[in-house]
C-alpha cells in the first residue's frame, strides 16, 4: 500500500464497535466523504476508514498507519465518541510522531479548547470542513500558505488556544463535489446511501445545536444537483434507495416538489425517505413525495404539550403534528415520530401526556415512535444556560452523554424520574407492559383525552 497524504477517520461511539449496533443504525460518514472528495479533486491522496462498521484492534490500526504513513489525519468528532477519539488520537501520535491530527465536527466546533488541551490534536476546524481542510493541506503538505491565512480553525499557540478569522459559509452548495462513495464499502451499512441537500435549519430549538453549528442562514442545493447525485449513485452502485438526512428537507416546499417532479420525469423507480416539519406537511407536498417514491417520512414531535413546544422553540403545535401524521398515514407512508422527555419545563404530567400521545399515534396511524432523554449537548442553548433553565448537569463525563442515559435534574423531574419514564416507554414498545397500567391513577383523565 502506497503512502497517502490524508487519512480520514470516523470513530465509533463510546459503546465501541459492536456488530449488532452497526447492523441496526449504521450510516456512512457523509461529512468525511465530502471532505475526501474535495481533497481528491485538489490532487491529494486520501483514504477513509470507518471504525463504526469495521473493527480495528490496536495492531491492525498501527499496521495501517505504518503502511500508509499519512501526513495528516482528520478525525470526525462527536461528544458521544469522546473516549474512542482520545484512544485513537493518542495511538496515532505514538505511532507517527510527525503526523498532524485535525479534528472536525460538532464536538471539535464546540469543545475546541478541551480537544486541543486534553487530546492529541494539532488543529480544530469549525463548522464546514471542505475548504478549510484543503487549505490546511496546502499549508502543511505543499507549504504554500501561512497557517494564519486559514480561516475558521484553532490551534495552540504558545500554550494558548488561538482562533483564526471566522470563515464564510459555503453558500453555493452545488459547487461542492458529489461525495465519492467508493472511499467506503457501502455493503457495510444498513442505510448505505444518505444524501444531504441543504445545510442549516431555520429553527432555533433550545435542545439542538444546528443553529450554533451552521449559523442563522440555511442554504440549499438545487433540485437538479440533487438529481445528478441520485443518478450517479444508481449508475455507479446500482442502488435506487436513499435517505435525505437534512434537518428539514421540506422546509422549502416548492423546492421539494420540484425535486419530486424531475425525479419522476426520469421514468426510473426510486425508494427513499426524508424528514419533514409537521407545519409544512400539506396534502399536496406529502402526495408529491409519495408519488416520487418517498416511502418513509420522519417528524420530530418533541412534546405533546403546546406550551412546552412554544417554550423550546419548536414552532409547531400538537394539532399540526397529529394532522401531518394523519395525512401521511392516509397516503401510505411508513412514519417515524420522535420525542424527547426531560425538557426544562417538563413535569410528570407533560411527560406522561407526551408518551401517551406518541402511543396514540402508533395505535391510530401505525407510526413508529421513538423516545429519548434530553441530553444537553455542547452548542445548545440548554447547555449554555443550565442555571437559567433551572437544570442541574450531573456529570462532566462526555462518555455518559447518550440520549438513553439521564444526566440531568430539571426543576420538576429528577434523573431517576426520567430513567423510569424512558424504561416504561421502552417496555410498552416491547410489549412487556400495558400502557394503561403504567399510568393508572396518575393522569386524572389524561388517558381518556389521548384516546
C-alpha cell at 265: 420525469
What is the structure's pLDDT at 438?
59
106 with 146, same domain?
yes
Q: Which residues contact 15 (CB under 8 A, 6 or more apart)?
A: 21, 402
C-alpha cell at 371: 423516545
The residue count for the chain: 451
131 with 262, same domain?
no
Q: With beta carbons less than 8 A apart as the criterion, state whether 10 and 29 touch.
A: yes
91 with 228, same domain?
no
Domain assignment of residue 416, given as a range = 192-430
222 with 292, same domain?
yes
110 with 225, same domain?
no
Q: List strand residue ranges (DSSP E) for 6-99, in order.
A: 6-10, 46-50, 72-76
C-alpha cell at 343: 425538557
pLDDT tens for each residue of the chain, 451 residues long: 679 999 999 998 876 544 544 445 589 999 999 999 999 999 999 999 999 999 899 999 999 999 999 999 999 999 989 999 999 999 999 999 999 999 999 999 999 999 999 999 999 999 999 999 999 999 999 998 899 999 999 999 999 999 999 999 999 999 999 999 999 999 999 899 999 999 999 889 999 999 999 998 999 999 999 999 999 999 999 999 999 999 889 999 999 999 999 999 999 999 999 999 999 999 999 999 999 999 999 999 999 999 999 999 999 999 999 999 999 999 999 999 999 999 999 999 999 999 999 999 999 999 999 999 999 999 999 999 999 999 999 999 998 999 999 999 999 999 999 999 999 999 888 877 777 665 655 545 554 554 5
For residue 134, give the CATH number of its domain. 3.40.50.280
Q: Is residue 202 part of a domain?
A: yes
Interstrand relation of 153-157 and 123-125 (parallel, antiparallel or unpaired): antiparallel
Q: Is residue 263 part of a domain?
A: yes
What is the structure's pLDDT at 138?
96
Query: Which residue matches cell numbers 410528570?
Result: 348
pTM for the full predicted model: 0.93
For residue 373, give the CATH number of its domain. 3.20.20.70
Q: Which residues contact 149 (CB under 8 A, 6 or more apart)?
A: 135, 139
216 with 100, same domain?
no
Using alpha carbons, list the distances in angstroms from residue 284 to 177, 250, 265, 399, 415.
Answer: 32, 12, 18, 44, 43
Q: Is residue 169 part of a domain?
A: no
Q: How many domains does the chain have?
A: 2
What is the structure's pLDDT at 233?
98
217 with 341, same domain?
yes
Q: In terms of Cα–Cα distance, which of 358, 383, 250 is closest to 303?
A: 358
Q: Is residue 170 part of a domain?
A: no
249 with 302, same domain?
yes
283 with 149, same domain?
no
145 with 203, same domain?
no
Residue 400, helix vs strand vs coil: helix
Q: Is residue 137 part of a domain?
A: yes
Q: Is residue 448 part of a domain?
A: no
What torsion do the CA atoms of 29, 31, 34, 39 make, to the nearest 10 degrees? -100
The span from the CA of 164 to the CA of 152, in Å, is 6
Q: Is residue 436 part of a domain?
A: no
Using alpha carbons, list the distances in angstroms from residue 443 to 187, 394, 424, 438, 447.
Answer: 48, 29, 15, 10, 7
Q: With beta carbons less than 8 A apart as the criterion, state whether 259 and 227 touch.
A: yes
250 with 287, same domain?
yes
Sign of CA pseudo-dihedral 55, 58, 63, 68: positive
- Residue 228 belongs to what H/E stretch? helix 223-237
232 with 368, same domain?
yes
Amino acid at each position: 500500500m502506497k503512502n497517502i497524504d490524508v487519512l480520514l477517520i470516523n470513530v465509533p461511539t463510546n459503546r465501541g464497535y459492536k456488530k449488532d449496533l452497526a447492523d441496526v443504525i449504521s450510516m456512512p460518514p457523509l461529512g468525511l466523504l465530502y471532505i475526501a472528495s474535495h481533497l481528491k479533486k485538489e490532487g491529494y491522496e486520501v483514504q477513509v476508514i470507518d471504525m463504526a462498521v469495521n473493527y480495528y484492534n490496536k495492531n491492525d490500526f498501527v499496521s495501517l498507519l505504518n503502511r500508509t504513513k499519512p501526513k495528516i489525519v482528520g478525525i470526525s468528532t462527536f461528544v458521544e465518541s469522546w473516549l474512542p477519539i482520545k484512544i485513537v488520537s493518542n495511538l496515532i501520535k505514538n505511532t507517527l510522531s510527525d503526523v498532524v491530527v485535525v479534528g472536525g465536527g460538532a464536538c471539535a466546533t464546540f469543545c475546541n479548547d478541551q480537544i486541543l488541551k486534553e487530546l492529541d490534536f494539532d488543529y480544530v476546524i469549525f463548522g464546514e470542513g471542505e475548504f478549510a481542510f484543503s487549505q490546511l493541506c496546502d499549508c502543511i503538505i505543499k507549504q504554500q500558505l501561512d497557517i494564519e491565512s486559514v480561516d475558521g480553525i484553532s490551534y495552540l499557540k504558545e500554550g494558548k488556544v488561538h482562533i483564526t478569522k471566522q470563515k464564510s459559509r459555503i453558500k453555493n452548495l452545488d459547487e461542492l463535489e458529489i461525495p465519492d462513495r467508493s472511499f467506503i464499502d457501502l455493503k457495510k451499512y444498513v442505510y448505505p446511501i444518505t444524501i444531504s441537500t441543504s445545510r442549516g435549519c431555520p429553527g432555533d430549538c433550545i435542545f439542538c445545536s444546528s443553529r450554533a453549528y451552521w449559523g442563522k442562514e440555511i442554504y440549499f442545493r438545487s433540485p437538479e444537483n440533487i438529481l445528478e447525485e441520485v443518478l450517479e449513485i444508481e449508475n455507479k452502485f446500482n442502488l435506487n434507495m436513499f435517505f435525505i438526512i437534512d434537518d428539514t428537507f421540506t422546509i422549502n416546499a416548492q423546492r421539494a416538489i420540484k425535486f419530486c417532479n424531475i425525479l419522476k420525469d426520469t421514468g426510473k423507480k426510486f425508494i427513499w425517505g426524508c424528514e419533514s416539519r409537521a407545519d409544512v406537511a400539506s396534502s399536496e407536498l406529502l402526495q408529491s413525495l409519495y408519488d416520487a417514491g418517498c416511502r418513509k417520512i420522519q417528524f420530530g414531535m418533541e412534546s405533546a404539550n403546546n406550551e412546552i413546544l412554544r417554550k423550546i422553540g419548536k414552532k409547531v403545535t400538537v394539532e399540526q403534528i397529529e394532522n401531518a401524521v394523519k395525512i401521511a398515514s392516509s397516503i401510505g407512508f411508513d412514519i417515524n415520530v420522535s420525542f424527547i422527555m426531560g425538557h426544562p419545563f417538563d413535569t410528570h404530567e407533560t411527560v406522561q401526556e407526551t408518551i401517551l400521545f406518541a402511543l396514540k399515534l402508533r395505535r391510530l396511524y401505525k407510526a413508529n415512535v421513538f423516545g429519548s432523554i434530553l441530553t444537553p449537548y455542547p452548542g445548545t442553548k440548554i447547555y449554555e444556560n443550565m442555571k437559567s433553565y433551572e437544570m442541574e448537569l450531573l456529570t462532566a463525563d462526555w462518555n455518559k452523554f447518550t440520549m438513553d442515559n439521564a444526566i440531568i435534574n430539571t426543576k420538576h423531574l429528577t434523573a431517576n424520574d426520567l430513567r423510569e419514564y424512558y424504561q416504561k416507554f421502552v417496555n410498552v414498545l416491547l410489549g412487556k407492559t400495558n400502557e394503561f397500567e403504567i399510568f393508572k391513577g396518575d393522569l386524572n383523565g389524561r388517558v381518556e383525552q389521548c384516546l
